[in-house]
Amino acid sequence: MHDLFICPRNVMRDNWVEACPKAKVYADVESIPKTGKREAIVWIHCDPQTLPWALESMRRILDLSPQCKVIILTNVPDQAEALLVLSQGAVGYCHAYSAPRFLKEVRSVVSHGGIWLGAELLKSLMLASKPLVGNSSKSIADQLALLTKREREVAIEAAKGLSNKEIARVLNITERTVKAHLSASFERLGLKDRLQLALTLNEKTHD
């Protein structure tokens, strides 16, 4: 699977050359020779201003050769932007100045059918996807079962919207104890904070 770069300035950066020695560079999609439906890894360089152009280029490449893999190289990585390009068909999104070794890794992943995204982006996706988890086969009861008795009691009060002080008063323990149980519950259930806890425990069960 060969590589090609699309860069408005029509210049290969050193790290790109080192990562993909045999790659060719073009200024735009039109400049690419028509080579039939061969698979390629297409690296499109852009910045926030030229993102729409990059997205349009990707669309056209994927229209012509759906089996191509498109990786977006940006000067200013941004999560929302990453989500946008990935949702529109890119299989990778990384910094244009990344080390050659890193780019080789990205190349390896996508050439085998993988998708590349950073840990921070994955974290955001997981946060945003909590409703999905709520609708999973793992019921609320199952999740509560992962907690100890006291953790459960505290979690339920927190899910109602009570503050730590209010929960402490209701259960006749200190605020510090409330925090300890909540932190343990967050970790056990894979939740970020009490808001996610509240959403999780208030999910409708499926009967």
Binding residues vs DNA (CB under 7 A): 148-151, 158, 163-165, 171, 173-177, 179-183, 186, 193-195
Round to whole Å and give the CA distance between 98 and 15. 7
Task: Name the nearest CA neighbour of 75 among 9, 147, 134, 160.
Answer: 9
What element of type H or E holds 56? helix 51-64
- The nearest distance, CB 132 to DNA, in angstroms, is 17
Among 10, 35, 136, 183, which residue interacts with a second copy (rule: CB under 8 A)? 136
Near a second copy by CB under 8 A, which window of 6-14, 22-30, 37-45, 128-136?
Answer: 128-136
Task: Name the nearest CA neighbour of 23 among 7, 47, 46.
Answer: 7
Q: C-alpha distances in angstroms, 25 versus 29, 56, 99, 137, 205?
A: 10, 18, 18, 48, 54
**Residue 69 neighbours by CB distance under 10 Å:** 27
Of these partners, a second copy, DNA, none, which one is at the site of residue 126 (CB under 5 to 8 Å by kind)? a second copy
Near a second copy by CB under 8 A, which window of 12-20, 33-41, 67-75, 189-197?
Answer: 189-197
204 touching a second copy, by CB under 8 A: yes
- Residue numbers at the binding site for a second copy (CB under 8 A): 52, 78-81, 83-84, 86-88, 101-102, 105, 108-109, 112-117, 119, 122-133, 136-138, 146, 160-162, 166, 169-170, 187, 189-196, 198-199, 202-205
